[in-house]
């Protein structure tokens, strides 16, 4: 018998725990020819800002061993234009999670205010962790007091699930997650990209025009997995795990580490069907290992004597 793949993120039920990560799937248009997007748990669309944003100048992407550095800088058409795309995607039956970005509290509010007028948005993922914009973005995500205040303000503007996307570029990610939870977040998602850079030895200059960029892909998986483990031990709200997931086995690792759902980013550029393969692969894993629902394996790796002794985590228990 097939296993039950449904998971809950706040009051939202997803048909399975797999979604493409923001910025790696656009609005689904380029991927729709490959498979039925309705088979995904949700689609997380590109970071949306109040006004159109051209992003950073090129060069904006650089391949690294087992990873990708990007400094796109939140290029997007702005909320008014994005609204149409979100509506069209939602009309096909897809659960659409809108990633919201901004340089100020007012920017975030404006995006939510506009999208609240439509039915299309199922949940908001609040990007407080973009390393590629000069103001706002990551600055919001590194101070627990600012996170708490931002989330409280946004909480008062919507009843839809608020997912706070955390930056790995902090000393204690669990502290930031707890601040989001205390302020009324329904879930947290992590990780955004790790701040990095590359140097062009011919020009003897940084390769990226922005100088620094965000590292993602398989190279970041061990860091992401460790952070998901820590955060899921520190909060009681659901955790959406991401960072270097390239196949179903990687996704299962995140679920076992405590993620309630997973998102897949850079791997979509290598294999456009990776998300749907992960859905099928998780289902196979559950059946082969005698589980009747995905919720049975969430955090299962913590049921070890090492964790009971507090050896691996050190940031408090659920």
Ligand X SMILES: Cc1cc2nc3c(=O)[nH]c(=O)nc-3n(C[C@H](O)[C@H](O)[C@H](O)COP(=O)(O)O)c2cc1C
Say whether 145 sits in a helix, a strand or coil: helix
Residue 95, both tokens: 């659960």
Residue 6, both tokens: 């449904």
Peptide bond into 95 cis (omega under 30): no
Q: Name the residue nearer to ligand X (CB basis): 3 or 122.
A: 122
Q: Angle, to 10 degrees, between the axis of helix 221-234 and the axis of helix 248-257?
A: 30
Q: State yes or no: residue 227 binds ligand X (CB under 6 A).
A: no
Q: Scan for tokens 């650089």, then name that residue.
A: 62
Q: Name the residue nearer to ligand X (CB basis): 3 or 248.
A: 248
Residue 171, both tokens: 């000393």
Q: Is 315 annotated as catalytic?
A: no
Residue 51, both tokens: 């006004």
Q: Scan for tokens 């483990």, then name that residue.
A: 229
By CB under 6 A, name the one of 46, 83, 85, 178 that touches ligand X: 46
- For the window 122-141, what string marks contact with ligand X as x by the rule CB under 6 A? -----x--------------
Q: State yes or no: residue 168 binds ligand X (CB under 6 A).
A: no
Q: State yes or no: residue 42 binds ligand X (CB under 6 A).
A: no
- Marked catalytic residue, from 24, 53, 130, 275: 130
CA-based radius of gyration for the chain: 18
Binding region for ligand X (CB under 6 A) out of 29-37, 153-161, 173-181, 238-246 = 238-246
- For the window 89-108, what string marks contact with ligand X as x by the rule CB under 6 A? ----------x---------
Q: State yes or no: residue 264 binds ligand X (CB under 6 A).
A: yes
What phi, psi does 166 have (nearest 5°)?
A: -95, 150
By CB under 6 A, name the one of 53, 96, 225, 242 that touches ligand X: 242
By CB under 6 A, name the one of 17, 23, 238, 258 that touches ligand X: 23
**Residue 277: CB partners within 8 Å, gap ≥ 6?**
247, 248, 271
Positions touching ligand X (CB under 6 A) are 21-24, 46-47, 68, 70, 72, 74, 99, 127, 165, 192-193, 216-217, 220, 242-245, 264-267
């Amino acid at each position: 018998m097939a296993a039950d793949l449904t998971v809950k993120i706040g009051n939202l039920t997803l048909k399975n725990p797999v979604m493409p990560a923001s910025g790696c799937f656009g609005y689904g248009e380029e991927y729709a020819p490959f498979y039925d997007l309705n088979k995904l748990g949700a689609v997380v669309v590109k970071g949306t800002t109040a006004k159109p944003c051209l992003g950073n100048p090129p060069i904006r992407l650089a391949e690294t061993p087992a990873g990708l550095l990007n400094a796109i800088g939140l290029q997007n058409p702005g909320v008014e234009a994005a609204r149409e795309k979100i509506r069209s995607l939602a009309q096909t039956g897809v659960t659409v999670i809108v990633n919201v970005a901004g340089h100020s509290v007012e920017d975030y509010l404006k995006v939510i205010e506009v999208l609240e007028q439509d039915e299309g948005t199922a949940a908001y993922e609040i990007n407080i962790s973009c390393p590629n914009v000069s103001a706002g973005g990551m600055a919001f995500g590194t101070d627990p007091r600012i996170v708490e205040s931002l989330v409280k303000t946004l909480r008062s503007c919507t009843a839809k699930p608020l997912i706070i996307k955390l930056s790995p570029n902090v000393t204690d990610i669990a502290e930031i997650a707890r601040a989001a939870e205390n302020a009324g977040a329904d879930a947290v998602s992590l990780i955004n990209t790790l701040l990095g850079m590359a140097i062009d030895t011919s020009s003897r200059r940084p390769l990226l025009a922005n100088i620094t960029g965000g590292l993602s892909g398989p190279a970041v998986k061990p860091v992401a997995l460790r952070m998901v483990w820590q955060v899921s031990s520190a909060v009681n709200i659901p955790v959406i795990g991401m960072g270097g997931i390239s196949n179903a086995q990687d996704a299962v690792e995140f679920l076992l580490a405590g993620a309630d759902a997973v998102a897949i980013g850079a791997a979509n550029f290598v294999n456009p069907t990776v998300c749907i393969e992960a859905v099928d692969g998780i289902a196979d894993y559950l059946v082969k290992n005698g589980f009747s629902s995905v919720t049975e394996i969430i955090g299962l790796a913590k049921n070890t004597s090492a964790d009971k002794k507090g050896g691996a985590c050190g940031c408090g228990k659920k």
